[in-house]
Amino acid sequence: MDKKPYSLNSFQLKCIAAALMVLDHLRQFLPQLTPLWFRYLGRVVAPVFFFLSVEGFLHTRSRPKYMARLFGAGLAMAIGSGVLNYWFPTPTVLHNNIFFSLGLGVALMSALEKLETTQTKGDYWRQVTAVILISAASLFTEASLYGIFMTKIFYSFRQDKRLLAIYYTIGSLLPIVTGPLTFDRLFFFDYQWMMIFALPLIFLYNGEPGPRTIGSKWFFYIFYPAHLWSIYMINYMLLAK
């Protein structure tokens, strides 16, 4: 991938997404103190991380370890969030856990890759079954089918940015036609379509990983649960007053 005059490496993209994610979650847990447009900004976060998970899948030294890290982080976060929900209950339940969605995305790419290279009918149907089961399992994760959709688009059209943009745009906007096209619905209740605005950030990606340090490798794994748990506890303490 050619480097662009104005571009972002993987770590820079993660930092931008992390900053927008904080705003998004501030509005989620502290709606009385933050504006709704924080949630608008947050719609671009998941697509960026799913896009980078495809890059991670293609360039990691060990795909099993990559998948294990995501599922392991998801399990650790589920336990930590469960403890907070039990000991410090609030009306807004802490359910966020994108790690499981990303892990299933990596599992999906593994199945799709094997599907592309399978030599026998038996192997073909095994991988098709795996894709179906992974898609079904995604319904029980935070990103639901949106995660599977984004992973499939970013993986299948990684070599053709024009088709990637077309299919991603269709997938992002298609859900809005399932209901009334009213201002209130599109801007106050069902604004997930705003994920389309992740495309400019994605197209700024220059294919470079950025700094290769332990800190950069584990940044998101630590920052994601830490910031959510912190915001959740702030909400709890404000409600306890």
Domain boundaries, the chain: 10-240
Compute the average pLDDT of residues 236-241: 90
pLDDT digits over 164-221, tens only?
999 999 999 998 988 898 999 999 999 999 999 999 999 999 999 888 888 888 999 9
Contact 21, 227 (CB under 8 A): yes
Question: Distance between CA atoms of 162 and 76, rounded to whole angstroms?
Answer: 38
Q: pLDDT tens digits, residue range 156-175?
A: 999 999 999 999 999 999 98
pTM of the model: 0.93
For 161, counting Cβ atoms within 10 Å of its Cβ (0-12 exposed, 13-18 middle, 19+ buried), the class is middle
Give mean pLDDT, residues 13-25.
97
Q: How confident is the model at residue 4 (pLDDT cuts 50, 70, 90)?
A: low
pLDDT at 183: 92
Query: 142, 101 in Cβ contact below 8 A?
Result: yes
CA pair distance 75, 49, nearest whole angstrom: 19
What pLDDT was estimated at residue 211? 86
What is d(CA 143, CA 97) in angstroms, rounded to the nearest whole number? Answer: 9
pLDDT of residue 5: 67
- Using alpha carbons only, what angle is made at residue 28 by residues 177 and 149, rounded to the nearest 5 degrees? 40
pLDDT of residue 175: 87
3-state secondary structure of 8: strand
- What the block records as the tokens of 27 is 């509005």
Which amino acid appears at position 41 of this protein?
L
User: What is the tens place of the pLDDT at every residue in 106-155?
Assistant: 999 999 999 888 878 778 888 899 999 999 999 999 999 999 999 999 99
Q: How many CB atoms lie within 10 A of CB 39?
A: 20
% residues pLDDT > 90 (the chain): 84
CB–CB of 131/161 below 8 Å? no
Give residue for tokens 């993987």.
10
Quick one: tokens of 203? 């197209």
Measured CA to CA, the distance from residue 120 to residue 70 in angstroms comes to 31
